């Protein structure tokens, strides 16, 4: 029952974050585009399209939440939770595409020695953008921590990188008279930041899809649970975990007396599995290794 509520909370959080993000980003897009036209700033117009792309990633977050919360069926017995990781990969790819476009435009601008022509409107709009985008990033990170949603966290990074790109543009505004090339160089820096964010997001999602080792904290929690049960020196080892988002499947080995009956071994394993599910909400399968003693060999 708790797992169902957790999934519903994650779905609701994804919807809330996505809708708020879409509304604010569309508003910022028109503001930046208007400021870019008025001031004749190519950088601001490009940043406006960058901001609009955040709305696309937010749509992906909402879609990912909708499909990943679908119940398990005969074709997908572990549910559809990993669709969330696929949504995160899409966001990462989108970031990389944006980064490529920005770095290409920056290089062209540097080659033709074109400098930005910013005005007061551009300064005000850029500052407003920085504040709102960082607020959105903090909101997404907060919901991501609460729900454990990778796609919400990924969207938070998208907001953060947009805020940082606006910071870079603001720096360019104040130094454009001293260095004609600063807009181009800072544009390249923003692009590299975007590439790194895209790499981090894609790598985390791919690692989870391919499978990962249980965290040290999880292993310690499991061993503490087994210790409290006082079932003897079982020496758990060989941990594997499969994260399906909506549920987690854990397997590991324990060592039992080789002379113990199958019924006794099964009972001990079942007690441990039930306790782990009760405390950690993780379905567990335990493999029993018989302890071979020297006196059994004689």
Same domain? 26 vs 87: yes
Instruction: Categorize the per-residue pLDDT at 32 as very low, low, confident or very high, splitting at 50, 70 and 90.
Output: confident
pLDDT of the residue at 81: 59
**pLDDT tops 70 at residue 75:** no
Question: Which CATH number covers residue 48?
Answer: 1.20.1510.10
pLDDT of the residue at 135: 92
Same domain? 98 vs 137: yes
Same domain? 174 vs 256: no
pLDDT of the residue at 184: 78
Q: Which pLDDT tens digit goes with each residue over 171-184?
A: 878 887 788 787 77
pLDDT of the residue at 3: 44
Same domain? 107 vs 37: yes
Q: How many domains does the chain have?
A: 2
* Coil, strand or helix at 46: helix
Burial 256-279 (b: 16+ CB within 10 A, else e): beeeeeeeebeebbeebbebbeee
Question: Which CATH number covers residue 267?
Answer: 3.30.70.1350
Domain final position from 152, 179, 209: 209
Same domain? 140 vs 242: no
pLDDT of the residue at 59: 67
Distance CA 249, CA 57 (A): 29
Give me the percent of the chain exceeding a pLDDT of 70: 78
Task: Give me the domain span that covers residue 229.
Answer: 216-297
Q: Which pLDDT tens digit goes with each residue over 203-216?
A: 877 877 776 677 78
Q: Which pLDDT tens digit goes with each residue over 224-269?
A: 888 888 887 788 888 887 766 556 778 889 888 878 888 888 898 8
């Amino acid at each position: 029952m708790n797992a169902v509520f957790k999934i519903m909370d994650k779905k609701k959080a994804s919807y809330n974050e996505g809708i708020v993000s879409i509304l604010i980003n569309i508003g910022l897009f028109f503001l930046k585009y208007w400021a870019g036209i008025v001031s004749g700033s190519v950088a601001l117009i490009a940043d406006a399209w960058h901001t609009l792309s955040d709305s696309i990633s937010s749509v992906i977050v909402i879609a990912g939440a909708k499909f990943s919360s679908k119940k398990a069926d005969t074709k997908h017995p572990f549910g559809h939770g990993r669709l969330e990781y696929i949504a995160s990969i899409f966001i990462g790819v989108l970031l990389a595409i944006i980064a490529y476009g920005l770095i290409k435009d920056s290089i062209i601008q540097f080659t033709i020695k074109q400098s930005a022509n910013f005005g007061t409107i551009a300064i005000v709009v850029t500052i407003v953008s920085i504040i709102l985008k960082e607020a959105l990033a903090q909101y997404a990170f907060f919901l991501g921590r609460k729900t454990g949603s990778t796609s919400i966290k990924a969207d938070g990074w998208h907001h953060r990188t947009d805020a940082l790109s606006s910071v870079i543009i603001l720096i360019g505004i104040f130094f454009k008279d001293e260095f004609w090339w600063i807009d181009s160089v800072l544009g390249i820096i923003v692009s590299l930041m975007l590439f790194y964010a895209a790499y981090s997001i894609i790598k985390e999602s791919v690692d989870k899809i391919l499978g990962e080792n249980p965290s040290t904290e999880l292993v310690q929690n499991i061993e503490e649970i087994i210790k409290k049960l006082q079932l003897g020196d079982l020496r758990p080892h060989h941990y594997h975990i499969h994260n399906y988002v909506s549920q987690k499947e854990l397997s590991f080995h324990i060592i039992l007396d080789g002379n113990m009956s199958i019924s006794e071994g099964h009972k001990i394993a079942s007690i441990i599995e039930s306790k782990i599910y009760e405390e950690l909400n993780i379905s567990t399968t335990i493999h029993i290794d018989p302890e071979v003693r020297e006196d059994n060999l004689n």
